[in-house]
Amino acid sequence: MFDSGATKSVSTPFGAVVGQERLKEALLAVAVDDDLDGLLVSGEKGTAKSTLVRGLAELLPEQRAVADCPYGCPPDDRTRQCESCRERAALPVETRPVPLVTLPLGATRDRVVGTLSVSDALAGDAEFDPGLLAQANRGLLYVDEINLLDDHLVDVLLDAAASGVNRVERDGVSVAHPAEFTLVGTMNPEEGDLRPQLRDRFGLSVDVCGERDIDDRVAVIDGDLHGTSPADDTDDHRRRLHRARDLLDSVALTDDQKRDIAALCVDAGVDGHRADIATARAARALAALAGRPTATDGDIRRAAELALNHRMQSAPFEDAPDAEDVIDDHFEDGEDDSDTEASGDEDADSESESDSDASPDVDDDPETEEQPSERPSDQPTPGDDSEADTDGDTDDAPGSNPQPGSAADGAETPDDGAGGEGGDPGPDEQEDAVPLVPGQSRAEPAEKPGAAAAPDIDAPETDGGTGSGRAGVAPAAGNRGTRVRTERTDGTSGIDAAASVAGGGQST
């Protein structure tokens, strides 16, 4: 199916769709930069995916094309023209809307790539009937429910999207023509996933869902029942798009921003370099839509969300990581690193200032405070018990009561080592507590651990008699043992058979 903005009217204009701001932004970014490979739209049913894609074609500016060329070759770029246009000296030029071609799910391969009559080719007249790829050249190729597309058609799209050329071969006869298009696909994830090879061909992707705001849902109902929209800003979007396409070539990315994009893609663990390129191009497109000559960190963040969402890798039996979480972690780590560097510089400056302020005090003071170890032996120390009283008496005078643990005339006591190097223990120090020995009362003086004697325990009285049992039985005569079970007897023996049975077999 071939759609054109001049021949087909859109039921709901682009700006009249309620909500879906992320999808609108992604579509505009793809329309600004033709080198972006395309857009994959994934979401629920009935969320205006197809409506917005068709409305995008009306926003695009008209393009100049060769009038009688079935591929719409650009007249000013010889490298992008077909073989027939390159051979002609003069080319008729016309202005046409950007084509929007819909690829249906039931399309055949010949309908997509085109047909070539072998009989005519053998007769010398190779007539080629262009397919949908030829019609989509320099335009939009829209595939609804792209995840349900047959594999042989997916292979055709992959080849054309990779090379920008569609090649048809029949029995040795080959025809090639340009097929440069922006691929836009929509899908419902409930109906199946997309092949990884085709998924990676989309430059950007966006997930959509139904509106949750009650007022927005009411506006959707009014638009369907009465044909009214709360605010149709389609003209504003058209002006933004045209201005952004003119400004795109002048938008630049700094070297730090490029390195930041590369580091972000490495952190995301994506394959290849398509994610890096798509993020950079999308950031420039978003900056151009905002009318800025330089991309900002916010543009890079939003571009990364669009370029990495469908490229995240997942381990077996695990869900793929969320692209927004990876992006947030990357930018938060960058902010933390910058804050750490700034705080480190401030700390270094404050330390240098404090050192410069403290150094004059040391140099200008000629006299320093004496250390306790350098004091004369006759000079009393603070808190020493040998210090003189107010009435002139000393601790050595008669009638003085020296404190426990004090030393007179500098004599050392056994407790000197516990109080430090040069004095007695201060008033705040306390004696070590000693635990009580089991069985000792609190009234008794406590002893230090290890010095307590073992408690007296009465030894049990023992009897020196012989023990009972097998150990105390004396050996029997003849080494016959202590017990005889059975034994033959005769009339000459002195054993009474009846008595031996009654006595348990004991010999007399």
pLDDT digits (tens, 9 = 90+) for 483-507: 655 666 666 666 565 655 555 544 4
CB within 8 Å of 40: residues ≥ 6 apart: 146, 185, 186, 187, 194, 199, 202, 204, 205, 206, 310
Q: Among positive and negative, which fits the CA dihedral 204, 210, 214, 216?
A: positive
Task: Give yes or no for residue 251 having a pLDDT over 70.
Answer: yes
Contact (CB, 8 A) for 18 and 211: yes
Catalytic residues: 274
Q: Where are the beta strands (DSSP E) in 356-456?
A: none
Q: What is the pLDDT of residue 223?
A: 75
Structural domains present in the chain: 1-62+97-210 (3.40.50.300), 251-342 (1.10.8.80)
Q: What is the pLDDT of residue 151?
A: 87
In 10 A of CB 434, how many CB atoms?
13
Q: What is the pLDDT of residue 33?
A: 92
Q: Within 13 A of 52's CA, how many CA atoms are on the CB side? A: 27
Contact (CB, 8 A) for 384 and 372: no
Distance separating alpha carbons of residues 329 and 93, to the nearest angstrom: 52
Query: What value does the mean pLDDT of the chain take?
Result: 74
The residue that leads in pLDDT, 282 or 118, is 282
CB within 8 Å of 31: residues ≥ 6 apart: 56, 59, 60, 182, 241, 245
Lowest mean pLDDT of 217-221, 342-346, 455-459, name the range: 342-346
Percent of the chain with pLDDT over 70: 58
Axis-axis angle for helices 297-308, 255-268 (nearest 10): 30
Contact (CB, 8 A) for 19 and 47: no
Query: Of 52, 135, 40, which Cα lies nearest the Cα of 97?
Result: 135
Task: Give yes or no for residue 148 having a pLDDT over 80.
Answer: yes
Task: Give yes or no for residue 224 having a pLDDT over 90.
Answer: no
- Summarize the confidence of residues 78-90 as an average pLDDT: 89
Tell whether pTM > 0.75: no
Q: Within 13 A of 138's CA, how many CA atoms are on the CB side? A: 23
- Summarize the confidence of residues 241-266 as an average pLDDT: 92
When pLDDT is cut at 50, 70 and 90, the band that residue 459 belongs to is low
Task: Give yes or no for residue 179 having a pLDDT over 80.
Answer: yes
In 10 A of CB 47, how many CB atoms?
20
pLDDT digits (tens, 9 = 90+) for 85-115: 998 888 899 999 999 999 998 899 989 998 8
Q: What is the pLDDT of residue 328?
A: 75
Token readout for 73 is 């070759």
When pLDDT is cut at 50, 70 and 90, the band that residue 246 belongs to is very high
Distance separating alpha carbons of residues 141 and 366, to the nearest angstrom: 89
Distance separating alpha carbons of residues 182 and 138, to the nearest angstrom: 8
Contact (CB, 8 A) for 205 and 41: yes
Q: What is the pLDDT of residue 159?
A: 87
Triad 285, 289, 293: Cα angle to 5°: 75
Q: What is the pLDDT of residue 192?
A: 83
Q: What is the pLDDT of residue 258?
A: 94
- Summarize the confidence of residues 445-451 as an average pLDDT: 53
Query: Of 8, 24, 33, 202, which Cα lies nearest the Cα of 99?
Result: 8
